[in-house]
């Protein structure tokens, strides 16, 4: 608790703050202040310490700090518990493990690094340390199974809006839930659900956002298809702040969805979509469908009209935008 | 392999069969025959052994024997692997564990007894040893998530038809997938699925059939709501044969479903339903709906018309038949 307040005080001040003031405001001894400063130094924070003037924070490591996370999530009641890991195999698997043990809706697992990050279709998700947002959380929606794909679209809207609120970047949604900037992927969302007959037991929402990766952080094969917020905007983003924004958007949309159903979510999705009204090629389970994406089915499926005017309802597929 | 053949030979003959003949037909020594007979004795089989005449099977224990199971499943290519357990916590959890490890479609887990059998909504399923069919198998259907409830109805039809083919009992389906005789439950089906966005990774189909339970096998609180094939028909059923029939029906319907879609399954379901055209009370997530079940929605949901003529589409709920 004191550690959080010490960091808060230092962060709130551009100038020096004296050991005496820190000691008074935190109601702890000067020795305790000094110990906490050292603890922060061990975590990568850097200070100038000048006698008679005090301490000044000169470098804040790009590291998710629990106190900063909790601050960023303070106004998001949806988030009940936060578990922060330095390195983990997969936040998705950890969140699933917690859900099976009964973890409540809003349990959030965040990692600095994933050693076996999960993407869609069994693919790996490149998750280098300290550079991105790799997180998974538990939802327990009281909706019937056929509506589950709507949550996938809802999450795409939430992440897209959060990124747009903190950057000026023109992020769009490729159906169902990839986020692209200039045709390159900036974020992936994966929702895994455990169901019992028509009932959803829980969903694990996995979100990967390439926040502060540099060009050289990408393996060769990803450079043409992936990009990061830092690469696109030219400056790093505060990851804790972005996590807070994503979860706040999620909470708002989830409330909206529970109160008003899917229609308002669909409108928001359509406004951010780069798939609608575009020619698309869709490799479905058995067919290759070429046509124009003309809208969302109320279930969340994509409606594609082919050259013969036949409309296809696509629930799940790999969609290629033909212009790409 | 020899053991299977020995049992087959003994089962195929109502009369005595000599040790010499057994030895010849199995191409093993007389001593080996004698050892195998003893092994079967240990498993509960009983024989009359008369000098010069040979062996006669006089008692076949009510015990699932791997060789009999494999014989009953010989004409069901859908079933790729069978794992038979004496006692297990839950066939459902074991099948799920295997599916996560990559077990193929058609992996079947059967147990004589479950110590923590799973029912719907976290309920327990009473699964005493040697009396019922407690089994779970893996499906990996290439269908989109919104269609998953159709599998629930398909399985109700499969089990209902299998029971009807081996007994004269008037079994009917209560939406979505409870099987009732005279208003009492004879079987429960639970489908748990693991999904990734709109894609089904796998389904675990759990089937419990109260085959040979006697009245006294039921705890007090179940006696008015549950019954067994044996209680209803007055005679025990061959459990291996019933397992074979259930899996054969499942295979046929699954093929039909994959080729022709849900429509023919829906017709079969409707023909066996005791819910349709009946007054029903439905406790949905938020509402209590009273009306008449008038049909199946193409998705597999139940359509209920209330007193005002308003139609409700019910995906998941506890349905009470008002007449019960």
- Looking at residue A285, its pLDDT comes to 62
Phi, psi of B142 (to 5 degrees): -90, 60
Helix (H) or strand (E) segment spanning residue A48: strand A46-50
- Looking at residue A1, its pLDDT comes to 44
Residues of A marked as binding for biotin? 114, 185
Numbered residues of chain A with Cβ closer than 8 Å to any chain B Cβ? 120-121, 142, 144-149, 152, 176-177, 190-199, 285, 299, 301, 315-316
User: Are A185 and A297 in the same domain?
Assistant: no
Compare CB distances from A145 to B148, B190, B285 and report the shortest one's residue: B148
Is residue A71 exposed (0-12), middle (13-18) or buried (19+ Cβ within 10 Å)?
A: middle
User: Are A77 and A20 in the same domain?
Assistant: no
User: Are B28 and B72 in the same domain?
Assistant: no
pLDDT tens digit string along A232-289? 999 999 999 999 999 999 999 999 999 999 999 999 999 999 988 888 888 766 678 8
Helix (H) or strand (E) segment spanning residue A148: helix A148-166
Q: Is residue A305 helix, strand or coil?
A: strand
Tell me the two tokens of residue A103: 């973890």
Length of chain A measured in residues? 324
Domain end: B236, B256, B272, which one?
Answer: B272
Compute the nearest-CA separation of B184 from chain A (Å): 21
A288 CB neighbour count, 10 Å cutoff? 10
Q: Is residue A70 helix, strand or coil?
A: helix
Whole-angstrom CA distances from B231 to A113, B218, B252, B321 are 59, 11, 29, 23
The structure tokens 């014989």 sit at B71
Using CA of residue A64, residue A68, residue A70, residue A76, what is the dihedral sign? negative
Compare CB distances from A145 to B149, B196, B197 and report the shortest one's residue: B149
- Looking at residue B298, its pLDDT comes to 82
CB B204 within 8 A of CB B118: no
Total domains in chain A come to: 3
Whole-angstrom CA distances from B152 to A205, B86, B301 are 25, 27, 11
Compute the nearest-CA separation of B141 from chain A (Å): 11
CATH code of the domain containing A178: 3.30.930.10
User: Are A210 and A257 in the same domain?
Assistant: yes
Residue of B nearest to A191 (CA): B197
In the predicted model, what is the mean pLDDT of chain A? Answer: 89
User: Are B25 and B152 in the same domain?
Assistant: no
Compute the nearest-CA separation of B188 from chain A (Å): 12
A40 CB neighbour count, 10 Å cutoff? 21
Task: Give the pairing type, strands B302-306 and B288-296.
Answer: antiparallel
User: Could B145 and A148 be called an inter-chain contact, meaning their C-beta atoms sit closer than 8 Å?
Assistant: yes
CATH code of the domain containing A301: 2.30.30.100
CATH code of the domain containing B24: 1.10.10.10
User: Are A97 and A238 in the same domain?
Assistant: yes
User: Are B151 and B245 in the same domain?
Assistant: yes
DSSP B193-218: EEEETTEEEEEEEEEEE--S--GGGS
Max mean pLDDT among A16-20, A176-180, B135-139, B296-300 falls in B135-139
DSSP designation for B152: H
Question: CA Rg, chain B, in Å?
Answer: 22
Spatial distance between the Cα atoms of A181 and B145, rounded to a whole number of angstroms: 29
User: Could B146 and A146 be called an inter-chain contact, meaning their C-beta atoms sit closer than 8 Å?
Assistant: yes
- Looking at residue A120, its pLDDT comes to 77
Domain end: B234, B254, B272, which one?
Answer: B272
DSSP A175-213: TTTEEEETTEEEEEEEEEEEEETTEEEEEEEEEEE--S-
A299 neighbourhood in chain B, CB within 8 Å? 146
User: Are B48 and B94 in the same domain?
Assistant: no
Domain end: B15, B39, B59, which one?
Answer: B59
User: Are B209 and B313 in the same domain?
Assistant: no
Tell me the two tokens of residue B32: 């080996």
Angle at B178 between CA B159 and CA B91, to 5 degrees: 65
User: Are B230 and B253 in the same domain?
Assistant: yes
Spatial distance between the Cα atoms of A310 and A289, rounded to a whole number of angstroms: 10
User: Could A146 and B145 be called an inter-chain contact, meaning their C-beta atoms sit closer than 8 Å?
Assistant: yes
- Looking at residue A324, its pLDDT comes to 36
Spatial distance between the Cα atoms of B99 and B90, rounded to a whole number of angstroms: 14
Compare CB distances from B197 to A120, A146, A197 and report the shortest one's residue: A120
φ/ψ bin of B283: left (φ > 0), alpha (ψ from -120 to 50), beta (otherwise): beta
Compare CB distances from B192 to A152, A195, A315 and report the shortest one's residue: A195
User: Are A189 and A151 in the same domain?
Assistant: yes
User: Are B255 and B289 in the same domain?
Assistant: no
Spatial distance between the Cα atoms of A165 and A157, rounded to a whole number of angstroms: 12
- Domain residues for the domain of A287 are 279-321
pLDDT tens digits, chain B, 324 residues: what are they? 445 578 888 888 888 999 889 999 889 998 999 898 888 887 767 888 888 888 988 877 778 888 889 999 999 999 999 999 988 999 999 999 999 999 999 999 999 989 888 887 778 888 888 889 999 999 999 888 888 889 999 999 999 999 999 998 999 999 888 999 999 999 999 999 999 888 899 999 999 999 999 888 888 888 889 999 999 999 999 999 999 999 999 999 999 999 999 999 999 999 999 988 888 888 766 678 889 999 888 888 889 999 899 998 887 666 666 643
């Amino acid at each position: 608790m004191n550690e959080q307040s010490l960091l808060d005080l230092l962060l709130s001040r551009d100038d020096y703050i004296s050991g005496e003031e820190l000691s008074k405001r935190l109601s702890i001894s000067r020795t305790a202040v000094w110990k906490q400063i050292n603890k922060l130094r061990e975590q990568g924070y850097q200070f100038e310490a000048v006698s008679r003037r005090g301490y000044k924070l000169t470098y804040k490591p790009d590291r998710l700090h629990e106190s900063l996370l909790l601050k960023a999530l303070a106004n998001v009641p949806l988030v009940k518990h936060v578990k922060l890991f330095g390195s983990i195999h997969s936040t998705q698997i950890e969140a699933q493990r917690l859900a099976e043990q009964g973890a409540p809706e809003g349990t959030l697992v965040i990692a600095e690094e994933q050693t076996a990050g999960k993407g869609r279709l069994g693919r790996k998700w490149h998750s280098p340390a300290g550079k991105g947002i790799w997180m998974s959380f538990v939802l327990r929606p009281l909706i019937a199974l056929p509506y589950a794909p709507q949550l996938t679209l809802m999450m795409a809207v939430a992440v897209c809006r959060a990124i747009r609120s903190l950057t000026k970047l023109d992020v769009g949604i490729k159906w169902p839930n990839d986020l692209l900037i200039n045709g390159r992927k900036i974020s992936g969302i994966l929702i895994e659900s455990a169901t019992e007959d028509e009932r959803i037991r829980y969903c694990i929402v996995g979100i990967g956002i390439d926040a502060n990766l540099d060009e050289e952080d990408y393996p060769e094969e990803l450079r043409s298809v992936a990009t990061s917020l830092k690469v696109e905007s030219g400056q790093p983003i505060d990851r804790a702040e972005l996590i807070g924004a994503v979860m706040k958007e999620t909470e708002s949309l989830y409330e909206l969805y529970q109160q008003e159903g899917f229609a308002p979510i669909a409108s928001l999705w359509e406004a951010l979509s780069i798939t609608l009204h575009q020619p698309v090629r869709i490799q479905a389970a058995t067919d290759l469908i070429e046509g124009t994406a003309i809208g969302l089915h109320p279930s969340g499926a994509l409606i594609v009209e082919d050259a013969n005017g036949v409309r296809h309802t696509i629930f799940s597929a790999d969609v290629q935008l033909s212009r790409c």
